[in-house]
């Protein structure tokens, strides 16, 4: 298991801290790495709580690279997941970035209710 803390920094989701298991099998999240908007529970959990206009603008910057057969490859597919993320309170990356890896992430909010980051476990 790996726990990642990320912040929304200038329209990107940046990992600012990561705690890895001591077990042999690990999924590391390098501090300073930028998460893709379309294939990360950290990113999708933040997107879900932004207004749709802002979410659309951020997704327009996305290249929608296909990392696995499960990667969401269009803004429409990502946007379709957002209402369920809000309803559940968390986002899931189900082998969207790495085969064999699943991740659950939830947004972190400032005092006004705006998402400023997210925390995840994979």
Q: In three state form, how does the secondary structure of the chain look?
A: CEEEEEEEECCEEEEEEEEECCCCCCCCCCCCCEECCCCCHHHHHHHCCCCHHHHHHHHHCCCCCCCCCCCCCCHHHHHHHHHHHHHHCCEEEECCCCCCCEEEEEEEECCCCCEEEEEEEC
30: containing domain: 2-121
Q: What is the pLDDT along the chain (122 residues), one digit of tens a residue?
A: 889 999 999 899 999 998 877 766 555 568 878 888 898 999 999 999 999 999 999 999 889 999 999 999 999 999 999 999 999 999 999 999 889 889 999 999 999 999 999 999 98
- The CATH number given to whatever domain includes residue 25 is 3.30.450.40
pTM of the predicted structure, to 2 decimals: 0.89
The domain tally of the chain equals 1
């Amino acid at each position: 298991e790996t726990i990642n803390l990320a912040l929304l920094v200038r329209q990107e989701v940046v990992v600012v801290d990561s705690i890895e298991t001591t077990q042999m099998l690990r999924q590391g999240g390098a501090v300073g790495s930028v998460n893709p908007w379309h294939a990360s529970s950290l990113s999708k959990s933040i997107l879900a709580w932004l207004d749709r206009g802002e979410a659309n603008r951020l997704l327009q910057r996305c290249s929608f690279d296909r990392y696995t057969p499960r990667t969401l490859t269009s803004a429409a597919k990502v946007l379709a997941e957002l209402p369920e993320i809000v309803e559940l309170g968390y986002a899931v990356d189900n082998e969207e970035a790495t085969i064999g890896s699943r991740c659950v992430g939830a947004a972190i909010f400032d005092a006004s209710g705006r998402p400023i980051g997210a925390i995840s476990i994979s």
